[in-house]
Amino acid sequence: MSQRQRTQVGIIGAGPAGLLLARLLEVHGIESVVLEARTRDYVEARIRAGVLEQGTVALLEEAGVAERLRREGLVHDGAEIATGGRRVRIDFRALTGKTVTVYGQTEITKDLIAARLAAGGPIVWEAKDVALHDIETARPRLTYDHAGATHELVCDFIAGCDGFHGVSRSALPASSRQAFERVYPFGWLGILADVAPCSSELIYAHHDRGFALASMRSPTRSRYYIQCDLDEKLEDWPDERIWQELKVRLDCEPPPNITTGPTIEKSIAPLRSFVSTPMQHGRLFLAGDAAHIVPPTGAKGLNLAASDVHYLSRALIAYYKKQDDSLCRAYGDTALARVWKAERFSWWMTTLLHKLHKKTSFEAQMQRAELDYLASSRAAQTALAENYVGLPF
C-alpha cells in the first residue's frame, strides 16, 4: 500500500547536518521530515569528530541544543605541534581572539535527536530504498519503503544530508556533476580509552615513524590516532603495541603524561579529500559529506557540514519568510567558496604532518623547513590558527 505525505523540506539523513538543518528550520516554523536509513541506536553510537569551531557552537546555541555542550564541552585556547622533540603551542585566543570546543559528534547527534523528538518533529528511522524524483520541478518527491509500505513525500525542497555513500549526490545529472579527489596512501588507527588525556590541549605530532594525534572527549576519556598503512588490520594492533607506539611518536619536551588502559573502541579509517560540484540542482541541495570529505587532520568535517547548514538554513528561511529565493539560487557557490578553503587547510595540515616521503628526500626536507618556519613565525602560526578556529561564514 502506498502512502502520501506533504512537507516543506524533505531531509535525507539523520546525521548532524540533517538534524541541525531540521532544528534550525523548526525554530523558524518551517516544517520538515527527516528520513534515515539506519536505526536510532546505530546513529547515536557512531564515533566521529569532536572539535567544534566557534561558528558551529553558535549554530547549536541558535538551535537551542547547546545546554549540555556548555556544561560538558572543553574550551581550548590553543593546540600544540610536536616536531623534532619539541612542542610548539599555537595560541588560538592570542592570535585570533577565538577558541575551539571539544565535544563529541556522538553527543551532538544525541542532543539534536532529543530536541527533534521532544518538539514532535518526525524522523523516519530505517527508511529503505530512498529515491528522489522531479527535483527540477516545484514539487520534488521522495519515495521510500518503511514498515512494509511504500511512502511518498512531496516537498518544496530536498536537502541531501546522507553522507558520502548516500543516494542524494547521484540524483544530480551526470552531465553536470564533477568530482575532485585526493586519496592518501595511509590510514588512521583511532582508539578511545577511559583514561585521562595526556595534555590539556590537542597534540599533533610529526615523527619519522609517522603522524600521531593526542586528543580527548572529556577529562576522563582520551582519543588517540596513529598513522598506519591501509592494509594493516586491527588484530595487528593490540593495546600494548598501540600505547608503545604512541609513547614513541609523542616523545617530546615537555613530555606528555600518557596514561594507558584498555581501549573501548578501535578502528582504522582511510583518508581522502573529495569535493563534488555542483552542490545544488533544481530543488535539491547537498550538504555535508554528501558533497565533500576532508581528511580529519584539520578538524573540519563536522564543522564544514555546519557551515553548509548555516548557508542553507538562511536560504530556506529567506524563501519562506521573505519570499526571497536569491540565497537559494546562490547556495552552491556560496557554500563551495568556504568548502574549498577548508579543503585547502585540511590538505595542508595532512601533507605537513604525515610521513609521506623518504627521510632523505627533497620533500621531507621541505616538510622540516615548513615546520621550522611554523615554530618561529607568528605570521605562520596566525594563518594556522585562523583556519583551525574557523573562517567566517
Q: Is-catalytic flag, 255?
A: no
Of 184, 224, 319, 388, catalytic: 388
What is the DSSP pairing of strand 263-277 with strand 178-193? antiparallel
Of 300, 311, 320, 331, catalytic: 300
Q: Residue with C-alpha cell 528522489?
A: 132
In order of 106, 302, 334, the CA distances from 15 in angstroms are: 9, 10, 22
Q: How far apart are CA 286 and CA 97, in angstroms?
A: 32
Of 296, 311, 319, 354, catalytic: 296
Q: Is-catalytic flag, 296?
A: yes
Q: How far apart are CA 298 and CA 125, in angstroms?
A: 32
CB atoms within 10 A of CB 361: 11
Of 103, 144, 204, 319, catalytic: 204
The conformation of residue 235, written as its DSSP 8-state character, comes to G
What three-state secondary structure class fits 27? helix
Q: Residue with C-alpha cell 576519556?
A: 221
Q: How far apart are CA 184 and CA 28, in angstroms?
A: 42
In order of 44, 110, 112, 161, 167, the CA distances from 21 in angstroms are: 17, 15, 10, 9, 18
Q: How far apart are CA 332 and CA 319, in angstroms?
A: 16
Q: Name the β-bridge partners of 326.
A: none
Of 16, 76, 184, 278, catalytic: 76
The conformation of residue 253, written as its DSSP 8-state character, comes to B
Q: Residue 96 is placed in which grid cell?
A: 585570533
Q: Is-catalytic flag, 76?
A: yes
Classify residue 41 as exposed, middle or buried by CB count within 10 Å of its CB (0-12, 13-18, 19+): exposed
Strands (E) in 85-209, as ranges, are 86-91, 100-102, 123-124, 128-133, 141-146, 149-154, 157-160, 178-193, 203-205
CB atoms within 10 A of CB 85: 10
Residues identified as active-site: 76, 204, 296, 300, 388
